Each structure stands twice: as structure tokens, then as C-alpha cells.
């Protein structure tokens, strides 16, 4: 028998990599009992496929939930509810500045990671989202009190647009790098 050529060795290595990826995806799906259809349905909570759950999500009551969202929304809703109930964390005259400034850490963390400036770190993302959640919550409190509030919708539009653009740029960079 002759020694395999470089092409054969590359093929065998690629086949082993594909098998490993398939096994990893299956094992995560099997642990969660998720079919592909269920994994697609879980995208609205996890925002990713099962192979990334362990790295980017937390397990809450039998469901995988995006780590960023699991910090942003509970803190934001508590801050908004307190504000709507009349609890002041700071003077209202500071609101627009505070809302905008507090949303910067989460935006830098998300956008920097999405475009590849730095790697994902769960602690950093959670801390940045906790800070951002306070600003988001204060703006959301205005939305609770007055529909279509500029204190909520202007920052959401600007920062949401930045997050969307970073996601698109990161996706294009990833595809181009393959």
C-alpha cells in the first residue's frame, strides 16, 4: 500500500473535523432534546445554534437564553418600573446624558466583539450589559409613562443601528475570511 498523498491527508483531516462538528452538535442537541426544528424555534431566546449555547447562553428553567439578554432585560425592566413608580436614581435633568452614556459600554462590548476587535468574554459582556441596562431601563421608564418617548426611542434607534451594522460587518468579514 502506498502512503497517502497530501491531498488524501487533507481530506481525511477535513472529514475528521466534520465528524467532530457533527458529533458536538448532536451531543448538545441530544442533551437538550432539541431537533433542528426545536433549535430553530429557540433562536428567539438564544440567538444562536446549539453548538454555541455553552459559550454564549445561560440555562434558565430548561431553556437556553442569550447571556446579554438575560442581563439587559431583567435589570432594564426593574429600573424602568422603579422610575415609573417615582423612584429617582439620579435627577431627571441628568437623564438624556445618563441614558446615552450608560448605553456606551454594552455597545462597545457587542460591536467590538461582533466586528472582531476582541474576543467574547462572558464576564466583560455581562458587566457591560448590566451598566447598559440601567440606561436602557431609565429610557424604558419614559416609554412606560409616555408612548413614543424620545428618551427611549432615540437611543434605541442609534445604538440598535450600531449593533445591527456591527453584526452585518462581522458577518461579512467572517464570510470573506473563509
Predicted TM-score of the model (pTM): 0.76
Is pLDDT of 55 > 70? yes
Q: Of 31 and 95, which is predicted with more confidence?
A: 95
Per-residue pLDDT tens over the stretch 2-25:
555 666 777 777 667 666 655 454
Contact 163, 107 (CB under 8 A): yes
Is pLDDT of 123 > 70? yes
Mean pLDDT of 166-174: 93
- Range 52-55, long-range pairs (CB < 8 A, 24+ positions): 53/28, 54/28, 55/120, 55/122
Q: What 3-state DSSP class applies to 65?
A: strand
Q: How confident is the model at residue 50 (pLDDT cuts 50, 70, 90)?
A: confident
Among 133, 108, 110, CA closest to 120 = 110
What pLDDT was estimated at residue 157? 98
Q: What is the mean pLDDT of the chain?
A: 87
What pLDDT was estimated at residue 33? 60
What pLDDT was estimated at residue 39? 77
Mean pLDDT of 102-115: 97
Amino acid at each position: 500500500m502506498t502512503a497517502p498523498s497530501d491531498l488524501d491527508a487533507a481530506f481525511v483531516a477535513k472529514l475528521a473535523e466534520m465528524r467532530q462538528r457533527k458529533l458536538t452538535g448532536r451531543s448538545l442537541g441530544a442533551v437538550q432534546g432539541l431537533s433542528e426544528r426545536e433549535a430553530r424555534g429557540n433562536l428567539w431566546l438564544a440567538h444562536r445554534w446549539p453548538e454555541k449555547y455553552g459559550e454564549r447562553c445561560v440555562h434558565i428553567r430548561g431553556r437556553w437564553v442569550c447571556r446579554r439578554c438575560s442581563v439587559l432585560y431583567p435589570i432594564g425592566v426593574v429600573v424602568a418600573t422603579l422610575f415609573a413608580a417615582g423612584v429617582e436614581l439620579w435627577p431627571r435633568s441628568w437623564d438624556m446624558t445618563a441614558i446615552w452614556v450608560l448605553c456606551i459600554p454594552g455597545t462597545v462590548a457587542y460591536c467590538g466583539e461582533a466586528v472582531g476587535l476582541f474576543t467574547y468574554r462572558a464576564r466583560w459582556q455581562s458587566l457591560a450589559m448590566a451598566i447598559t441596562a440601567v440606561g436602557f431601563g431609565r429610557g424604558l421608564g419614559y416609554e412606560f409613562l409616555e408612548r413614543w418617548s424620545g428618551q427611549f426611542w432615540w437611543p434605541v434607534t442609534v445604538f440598535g443601528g450600531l449593533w445591527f451594522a456591527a453584526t452585518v460587518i462581522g458577518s461579512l468579514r467572517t464570510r470573506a475570511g473563509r
